[in-house]
Amino acid sequence: MHPRLSALAALRLTDPEQKVAATRATAAVAATDSIATDPLRVVGDDIGVPGRPERPLRVAATAVQKRSPFTPEGRAALIHSICHIEFNAINLALDAAWRYDGMPEAYYRDWLRVADEEAQHFTLLHAHLQDMGWRYGDFPGHDGLWSMCEKTRDDVLARMALVPRTLEARGLDATPLIQAKLRRVDTPDALRAVEILDIILRDEVGHVAIGNHWYRWLCERAGRDPEATYPELVARYEAPRLKPPFNLEARGQAGFSAEELRALSAAAKD
């Protein structure tokens, strides 16, 4: 099967373990085989996208109950929330690889590799959550990541601008803060979570870099200035406003320009 159609098949799966296995198998094939760039999209092919289990219950971000990481249940809820983000990130990467015709082979290969790494992250977190006595689905989760995916489904430039280099880049900022809290907890399960988050942060720098690369490539193809286009897309699609503190080092590694980093640094001081 064409790797992009395999990505669609994995995207439609509702069982997390089956989705992980299908994603990893698709990425393994795409890493070694050529990926034809002929158009694949047909009317109605987005039925069943994305495949998600009945649980967790999906709620508004404001309805997700805050729990202290200094209690066992609170730490489980925290790990679950990150696990939920990674499950959504599998779907986001599969969708980016499948949805958009007319991109170079390297684009599809990049996003299938991202999907594979997100599947690895989900597996690590879910195993840790189970070691703590819980499972994915035991706490509610919000739908913010996928809602932006829906908004940008017809615009690959907006998708690259507003998912990897906006929403996922927020993870670069948030992860060190979460790790600091878990180090203060200083229990074996908290310190194991810190180790897993080290892996995730390292990989997510690469994922955001891929988003930055293809955003700039698309801007160049369209004859648009990346720095000027970004705020236009933020306003058009009502993307969340970025809030400090910013992990400027990780953002720099992920390919944000010096001008963008200066603007973020100035915003953090306001």
pLDDT attached to residue 268: 82
Alpha helices in 186-257 (DSSP H): 188-222, 226-236, 248-253
pLDDT attached to residue 175: 97
Q: How far apart are CA 105 and CA 190, in angstroms?
A: 40
Predicted confidence (pLDDT) per residue in 194-240, tens digit: 999 999 999 999 999 999 999 999 999 999 999 999 999 999 999 99
Type of residue found at 41: R
Query: Which domains does the chain possess?
Result: 3-29+65-269 (1.20.1260.10)
* Burial of 155 per CB tally in 10 Å (0-12, 13-18, 19+): middle
For 186, left (φ over 0), alpha (ψ -120 to 50), or beta?
left
Task: List the one residue out of 11, 6, 13, 199 whose CA is nearest residue 120.
Answer: 199
pLDDT attached to residue 65: 78
pLDDT attached to residue 222: 98
Task: List the one residue out of 238, 164, 156, 231 whose CA is nearest residue 204.
Answer: 164
* Burial of 217 per CB tally in 10 Å (0-12, 13-18, 19+): middle
**Dmax (CA) of the chain:** 53
pLDDT attached to residue 143: 81
Q: How far apart are CA 58 and CA 147, in angstroms?
A: 12
**pTM, to two decimals:** 0.97
pLDDT attached to residue 62: 74
H helix or E strand, kind and range, residue 59: strand 58-59
Cα angle: 140, vertex 201, 56; to 5 degrees: 10
H helix or E strand, kind and range, residue 58: strand 58-59
pLDDT attached to residue 48: 96
Cβ neighbour number for residue 180 with a 10 Å cutoff: 10
pLDDT attached to residue 144: 79
Q: How far apart are CA 173 and CA 246, in angstroms?
A: 5
User: pLDDT below 70 — which residues of the chain?
Assistant: none
pLDDT attached to residue 259: 93
Task: List the one residue out of 24, 17, 37 whose CA is nearest residue 7.
Answer: 24
